Structure 1
């Protein structure tokens, strides 16, 4: 069955009058899980490739290069099957560029926050080109979830304020190596900006809502877990993992949560998404 038909079935909004109590909770929880899994299509397929590809590569092609081919193939297929629009693809490409620039800086000789230790033909400045897709996958997830859950945002801060906060988050990823880490000051600003913001979503046939800040933190948690899996499989390594694998520092959770805020701000500027965002006068 084509995914577009599955999506249409998942988003069918006819009211289930017979569902009450625990039966309703279980049904909504089930649909919530299915929609979350579907929204993670790009992430799921990409990480399946990470798990399944041998470190030695395939048919003489290094693993990093195969991962790039897989990522590009998934992205093109999503556009071809209309799971993403061309405008959404442009946003995803912007994520790729923003993420790749950050990767080049973090892996540079003067910083060495982490390293891509395997060989690859498609490495530029020591960073494999597929790495930008790991950031783009966050944007892809948000775009897919927006449609599947019929997301709406209430009390979103003015766009210029949100843009300044996102820019401060991105700049701090670079400057904390030279002038100190101000992430908690930036996080405090984001907390103030989004304190009243709620996200309205529809797991089944009724609207539910939660604080948008909580959504940022939860998504950041799952990215941190995925990062642990990636380092376990040797996709990249932090300095403390060169001898033997160890858990990624819990502090990275906060970094990923801030990155999600930045990603959300970029997605929120898409024309068809702006229509479902309420900014108080």
Structure 2
């Protein structure tokens, strides 16, 4: 089933070609595998456009900054420029931008708490003019990048969700996930209990996606875990380049603890819940009555 777009959601020519390629029903065997794999890779790269460009900037901008402007400030300007260009080029709609802004705000609030004097889970060691309570404003875009990826992938792969849990239940789990990032410093870490609830809630949920001209499917929970893994890899690269540091990395870099993978996977569940509540996305989510 081809997704219908309203005028506000009409894709640009490149996205339209990816979404509606000329069907090839006679394609089979290894040839079909290669074509679908190629389209899958292109759509994934396109979905990661904001995240990819942003993290290229993270790795490319020298620690000393550019032309006297500190690195964190340069990264903020680059992130804003990328976001503006995507809206101008109709790679994102204004509705999607509003949702991505919500990711930015929730992520930045988490950063403020985690880097505070009483918590100090990690830190941003470099100077910047655009730091607020020790947190550079660009940091919220790292969370926005996750939301941008989910939104773009939803459109390009024409995602449909079968057996999605009731929205109110998904919302409660998302709130518990977010709250636990704060409360585990005071009343214990309940992430595995929340993860068990999420496992039961999404156990039947299946994501249907279209790499080329046929729908494929996979468990929705598996997609959460896979996205969380790639975010964990990106976090390792970012800490290696010194963008931020955990306390155990102050003397010399070491890999981010594998336990962070679970945290990122839960954050993906929360991010997915926000995207699933967008008006034009709800039409492609099946909630059993």
Is TM > 0.5 for Structure 1 vs Structure 2? Answer: yes
Counterpart in the other structure of 2:249: 241
SS state at 2:12 partner: helix
What is the rounded CA distance, in whole Å, between the counterparts of 2:84 and 2:276 in structure 1?
23
Counterpart in the other structure of 1:145: 153
What is the rounded CA distance, in whole Å, between the counterparts of 1:243 and 1:19 in structure 2?
55
Q: How does 1:185-264 map to 2 (within 5 A)?
A: 185-264=193-272
What is the rounded CA distance, in whole Å, between the counterparts of 2:286 and 2:186 in structure 1?
38
Question: What are the Cα deviations for residues 21-77 of structure 1, in whole angstroms up to 9, with x where unaligned?
Answer: 111111111111110011000011001111111100000000000000000111111
Counterpart in the other structure of 2:70: 62
TM-score normalised by structure 1 residue count: 0.98
What is the rounded CA distance, in whole Å, between the counterparts of 1:41 and 1:234 in structure 2?
23
What is the rounded CA distance, in whole Å, between the counterparts of 1:42 and 1:223 in structure 2?
14
Q: Give the superposition deviation at 1:82.
A: 1.2
What is the rounded CA distance, in whole Å, between the counterparts of 2:163 and 2:282 in structure 1?
13
Bigger shift: residues 23-32 or 217-226: 23-32
Counterpart in the other structure of 2:8: none
Counterpart in the other structure of 1:100: 108
Counterpart in the other structure of 1:134: 142
What is the rounded CA distance, in whole Å, between the counterparts of 1:184 and 1:17 in structure 2?
45
Counterpart in the other structure of 1:39: 47
Determine if the alignment matches structure 1 residue 157 to structure 2 residue 157.
no
What is the aligned-residue RMSD (CA, Å)?
A: 0.9
What is the rounded CA distance, in whole Å, between the counterparts of 1:241 and 1:228 in structure 2?
11
What is the rounded CA distance, in whole Å, between the counterparts of 2:100 and 2:192 in structure 1?
27
Q: Give the superposition deviation at 1:13.
A: 4.1
5+ residue gaps, structure 2: 1-10
- The number of residue pairs the alignment matches comes to 279
Counterpart in the other structure of 1:87: 95
What is the rounded CA distance, in whole Å, between the counterparts of 2:37 and 2:133 in structure 1?
45
Question: What are the Cα deviations for residues 227-277 of structure 1, in whole angstroms up to 9, with x where unaligned?
Answer: 000001000000000001100000000000000000000011100000100
Moved over 4 A (4+): none
What is the rounded CA distance, in whole Å, between the counterparts of 2:188 and 2:165 in structure 1?
27
Match of 1:121 among 120, 129, 139: 129
Bigger shift: residues 82-91 or 159-168: 82-91
Match of 1:77 among 72, 85, 110: 85
What is the rounded CA distance, in whole Å, between the counterparts of 1:228 and 1:53 in structure 2?
17
What is the rounded CA distance, in whole Å, between the counterparts of 1:173 and 1:93 in structure 2?
20
TM-score normalised by structure 2 residue count: 0.95
Q: Give the superposition deviation at 1:4.
A: 2.5
Q: Give the superposition deviation at 1:85.
A: 1.0
Q: Give the superposition deviation at 1:17.
A: 2.3
Q: Give the superposition deviation at 1:183.
A: 0.2
What is the rounded CA distance, in whole Å, between the counterparts of 1:250 and 1:93 in structure 2?
28
SS state at 2:32 partner: helix
What is the rounded CA distance, in whole Å, between the counterparts of 2:266 and 2:240 in structure 1?
23
SS state at 1:130 partner: helix
